[in-house]
Structure 1
Amino acid sequence: MAAHFSLILVIVTLVSGLIWLIDVIFFAPKRREALALAEAKQADLSEEAKESIIRESTVVEFAHSIFPVIAFVLILRSFIYEPFQIPSGSMKPTLLVGDFILVEKFSYGLRDPVWRSKLVETGEPERGDVFVFKYPENPQIDYIKRVIGLPGDRIVYQNKQFLIEPKCDDGANCPPAKAVKLSSVNRGEFSQEGIPLSRYTEQLGDIEHDILINPSRPDFSNHFYEQAGTAVGEFIVPEGEYFAIGDNRDNSTDSRFWGFVPEANLVGKAVAIWISFEFERPASSWLPTWVPTGVRFDRVGAIK
């Protein structure tokens, strides 16, 4: 849907801009000439008559009105910030259903809004970033996850914990794989199918964030992505690709199951929650479920 909307924006911008430009070059001068001739013939020409001569056609007037607005929205959405809505709980507790976020489009390079070719290099994802990308198995769908593996990393997932061996070109002095540090926060603040979840603070580089783990749920390792030359639960991140994981570890379909995120699929870095709605309407309510029941103002702010 986002890709279709970008294409529609581009088409409307081009068409309205082209109509306006053609009028400025060809038809507006003719209207001014017609006005000059009319004034030469009749010195006391009324303002209404003048207006009727130089007035733009309805199509041109409409194009003239919407082009600056549409062009501004296109530039803003394509190259600066794009709004997204969180549709699922795979990033709890960082992001909740009903959070509306801003994605910084220029964090990982400026791309054209239609073919998504990189125009300008501006940066790369860092470990711990929350990022939006085109789902590799269906690029029409936008996914949001957290970067845990960078190109060249060796990632091991076992006993509900990650071990990371960063890329190292110096074979003699490469650091060993280290378990990602977890600190217990609480248990029971969140639940899944009636089972209380354990909340931990995880340290990824300089970024601290909270995750959820369901201690009673298996890892479903038989469904893990199979990479040639690696054991089950082990992943070597290819060059130009990233390993993405959900903060709600046992309720997230992520790189453990479908593989890696190519650099070409990157959309941008999630940087802030600009509004958050609650949707806790009972089934008996006469209002539709998409109508918010409240606003969570305390969630507005930067994303960790």
Structure 2
Amino acid sequence: MTKPPLTLYLAAPRGFCAGVDRAIKIVELALEKWGAPVFVRHEIVHNKYVVDDLKAKGAVFVEELDECPNDRPVIFSAHGVPKAVPAAAAKREMVFVDATCPLVSKVHIEAQRHADNGLQMIMIGHEGHPETVGTMGQLPEGEVVLVETVEDVATVEVRDPSKLAFVTQTTLSVDDTVDIVAALNGRFPAIVGPHKEDICYATTNRQEAVKAMAPKADAMLVVGAPNSSNSQRLVEVGRKAGCDYSQLVMRGADIDWRALDGITSIGITAGASAPEVLINEVIDAFKNRYDVTVEQVETAVENVEFKVPRVLRETA
């Protein structure tokens, strides 16, 4: 039987960013240096495949520090942690390695600098997301207030409207954040913004590639995990950019073929914590059913690399 033709638009950049790459490398190097088990507080990155792979190598994932023994190393996830976590590890004389993405650390430093200058912080982010929890936890209780939407800006209560600054979760939708920032500037004209955009280069680049791809495609799939903020934003960006059927899939087996019946083109991208092996799995699933022509949609070239902490570089 002849396979129907399908144009597969492949977003570039897609998948792993430098911060995710570094975090995974940190766990692997820690296992090399100290042997198994190495404990990891929270999923190192939001992807089940990656977490399961590291578990198989000897990493043990926990939600809280008190689940870790004192005599084994612990790694803090790429999303960042409240200041209280490394402080508690130091108090217990634990060996710990911080895998916080350097671009998230930049936001932490920014928040501290503004607080030192007497400014109260407003954080644009998603409540309960580990990155938001980590950033808000850099400062004492009440020093950071969270807004998630434009509507929140209208009701947020602050100590002194003339002494405010804002920071942003690094994985948000660029377009949505612009509206929230405009609302903050409208209500609090004296508010101080970041020295440089908080939303990370990888989030921005992946969203731009989706915007370029979405109008051409009958449907779009984002390879990523449901708890991955940047993956969920890619789905939303795809819909807003004109691709009504924009869905998240974790693996090739998750594709809803009935929903895709009759399509002649598909856009494929992946969140920053999705490995290339899963993207290839999805592409292969289409190649099994269609006569596929792959067209890359490249909007940026990434060559960012972050060093691992010195304690692990010495081993390497």
Task: Tell me the TM-score normalized by structure 2.
Answer: 0.23
Task: Tell me the TM-score normalized by structure 1.
Answer: 0.23
Higher helix share: 2
Higher strand share: 1
